[in-house]
Amino acid sequence: MIDFLTGDMNVLGIETSCDETSAAIISGGTRVLSSIVLSQIEMHAPYGGVVPEIASRSHVEHLSGVVGEAVKVSGLSWSAIDAVAVTHGPGLASSLLVGLSFAKGLAFSLKKPLCVINHIEAHIYSAFLEGEASRFEDVCPFVALVVSGGHTSLFRVDGKGRYKLLGQTIDDAAGEAFDKGANLLGLGYPGGPVIDRISKNGQRDYVNFPRGRVRAQNLGLMGVDHDLCFSFSGLKTALLYYLKDHPPANEAELASVAASYQEAIIDSLVQRCERAVEDTGVLVVGGGVSLNSRLRERLTEMANRNSVELIMARPRYCGDNAAMIAGLAGAGYGTWGADAMAADAVPNLVLSL
Ligand code: KG4
Ligand code: ZN
């Protein structure tokens, strides 16, 4: 932990790694004084996915206003901000650079330390926001599932900065599987929320879609256990062929195909989590897909059945947000000071020992 860090430090966080422009102020690592998230979804929706050029231009246009709003809502003066924290990877290079350059300039002009944060680590930490500051360390060792549009990974967390990758997707992320599936179903972008919603009216066993397994011989494993890895690309192809032969005739059929597709994704996630958590008995979950109501329900069932302690991010901190960035910095994590000022944007930044 850095020496100037105090328990009630006020950290201004900035997040621009993908398609949310966000700023937040967190006190003492977990107390949220403000959290502003400007989503670009409407700008990307016509293209069926995030367009990097549009994302970075929009960050440039809006970041300064979003930061100003976060300071205003917090009720603090600029001089009460003790540090500036920002995501430096992973994410879209041109989007990361907007937030990183802004944060460097801001920290320099405020004469406050800068902290650069790994976005994946922050998704794990998001489950502890608004809780006790010591909670993250107290529940170690634990297993963390980060499940979003860009990531589907399982980690074992043994303490501060001690992350071991247990498994990950070898092709699409779970969020991508939702988005691509929704596209095939004609449901628009982003797919997760709409599939979640219409699946409530569908039959989950209407179509028996494949639950992608990863073979031990797979070359993409990079030393991790194949049984803890995920594969969603075959599922998407199965949906494509199913729809060619059986185009849904009405809303009820559409809902049942969507519910069956969702269930295949959720089955894969829950089954890997159940296995991964055997050793530690504590599962922490974050990322945009952890907003999914069926995933939350199934993980809760699994945790009750196995007496697992389940710590899920609150819905407002599941998607990309700067509160998790500022919180992680305020808890003493991340890279600080001169090293942070020299840090570059790292689009493929990893989180592992
Ligand atoms: O964490 P996030 O906001 O951004 C990334 O870092 O990727 O996650 C966005 C992803 C999208 O793929 C979106 O479809 C998915 O999260 N998502 C959901 C739900 N809400 C958002 N997936 C399933 N069910 C939801 N309710
Ligand atoms: Zn994210």
- The string of DSSP letters for 209-253 reads -------TT-TT-TTS-GGG-B--HHHHHHHHHHHHH----SHHH
Indicate whether 208 pLDDT > 60.
yes
**Which stretch of 25-39, 138-152, 214-228 has the lowest confidence by average pLDDT?**
214-228
Which pLDDT tens digit goes with each residue over 162-180? 999 999 999 999 999 999 9
- Binding site membership of 190 for ligand 1 (Cβ less than 6 Å): yes
Classified as helix, coil or strand, 15 is: strand
- Is any ligand 1 atom within 6 A of the Cβ of residue 324? no
Query: Mean pLDDT over all residues of the chain?
Result: 95
With 0.85 as the threshold, say if the pTM is over it: yes
288 lines ligand 1 (CB under 6 A): yes
Distance from C-alpha of 105 to C-alpha of 223, rounded to nearest angstrom: 40
CA distance to 19, 161, 290, 349, per residue, from 49 (Å) = 10, 32, 19, 22
Collapse the DSSP code of 176 into the 3-class scheme (helix H, G, I; strand E, B; otherwise coil) and give the result: helix
Q: Please tell me the residue having the least CA distance from ligand 1 atom 14.
A: 192
39: left (phi over 0), alpha (psi -120 to 50) or beta: beta
What is the number of the ligand closest to the CA of 121? 2
Ligand 1 contact via 91 beta carbon (within 6 Å): no
Would residue 223 be called left, alpha or beta, if left means φ above 0 and alpha means ψ between -120 and 50 degrees?
A: left
Cα 308 from chain centroid (whole Å)? 22
Residue 336's pLDDT is what? 97
* pLDDT for position 353: 61
Instruction: Estimate to the nearest angstrom the gap between the alpha carbon of 89 and the chain centroid.
Output: 12
pLDDT attached to residue 6: 60
Nearest CA, atom 1, ligand 1: 288
Confidence grade of residue 221 (pLDDT, cut at 50, 70, 90): confident
The one-letter amino acid code at 251 reads E
Task: Note the pLDDT of residue 215.
Answer: 82
Q: What is 35-50 written as a DSSP string? A: EEEEE-HHHHGGGTS-
The reported pLDDT for the residue numbered 352 is 77
Rounded average pLDDT over 273-295:
98
Q: Give percent above pLDDT 90 in the chain.
A: 90
Residues 109-152: tens digit of each pLDDT: 999 999 999 999 999 999 999 998 889 999 999 999 999 999 99
